[in-house]
Amino acid sequence: MKKYFLYILILLVIGFSVLLLLPKNDQFIKSPNQYLPAEKLNKIILETREKTAKNPEDIFSYIEGGVALYQKGRDYYPEAINQLQRALKLGAVDLRIYFYLAIMYDELNVPERAFVYYEKFLRNRPKNFYMRTRYGNLFFHQNRYDSASEQYETALSVQPKNQTALINLALSYKARDMFDEALEEFRKAESVKSIRTPEILIKIAETYSAKKDFSSVLAYYTKAIERKPNSVAALLGLADTYLNTGYKSEAANYFQKVLEIDPANPIAKKQLSKK
């Protein structure tokens, strides 16, 4: 009987230890403003190196040192990865490992490894909005737009009114030539708060252009120029729209504005030479 209770006690202790190793979402370090001071990080790194030198199977020190190295920045990622991978090989059960490995491999442009750890993390935290969105971004950057849309849609099931996710979903739809769906997501994003980023306004204008809705095209290029008067992309888009709708003098005016900003611009020079 005593052995039975001892066995149960051991299982409870192990279970509690595992729970301690599975942090809540707010315990993951997502941005530099959460980093510890450099002096503190250096101390942790030095101490954990000493501990692992004495005990090469010290899982907790590998994790602690790896997380500290992650916070030191991109130049320290290779060593951080080595520390965290070592902890995994020793049998570590800690979601922070998947979290930081996914981010570091992603930022080091090693997508095949990043995909593995995003997937491992999200199996355990399927509703983690931050990582779900990053996962979608990785698919997008790999031109895997169907999968990117799927991840953004899942992220929006967690935070339906997140403007960044709405815009990202719209851009993924646009990349798939799903222009109606893209415009719907752009409208949702605008309903949350006014879109002020010129680059996004240009993308919306381009989407309306694919739909041949030229009044909306002109409206969004104009908004982009109001936000950023020296935007060559917006000025060219506006000039091209005027040209294609038969307003040649207005088009020439905006091509000329492009040359005032970028005198060597080949598109503007070619169009004005035709005149």
DSSP 73-107: -GGGHHHHHHHHHHHHHTT---HHHHHHHHHHHHH
Nearest 5°: the CA angle 111, 62, 116 is 20
Question: How many residues would you count in the chain?
Answer: 275
Residues of the chain with pLDDT under 50: 2-25
Q: What is the pLDDT of residue 10?
A: 41
Q: What is the pLDDT of residue 27?
A: 82
Residue given tokens 């370090």 in the structure block: 29
Q: What is the pLDDT of residue 275?
A: 57
Ordered domains of the chain (ranges, CATH): 35-109 (1.25.40), 213-275 (1.25.40.10)
Tell me how far CA of residue 68 lies from CA of 15, 32, 114, 169, in angstroms: 26, 12, 20, 34
Q: Give per-residue pLDDT as tens, 18-44.
A: 333 444 445 899 888 899 999 999 999
Q: What is the pLDDT of residue 139?
A: 98
In whole angstroms, what is the distance from residue 156 CA to residue 177 CA? Answer: 21
Question: Residue 70 is which amino acid?
Answer: Y
Q: What is the pLDDT of residue 33?
A: 87
The angle that helices 129-141 and 95-107 make with each other, rounded to 10 degrees, is 30
Q: Give per-residue pLDDT as tens, 34-89.
A: 999 999 999 999 999 999 999 999 999 999 999 999 999 999 999 999 999 999 99
**Residues 6 or more apart from 78 whose CB is under 8 A from it?**
108
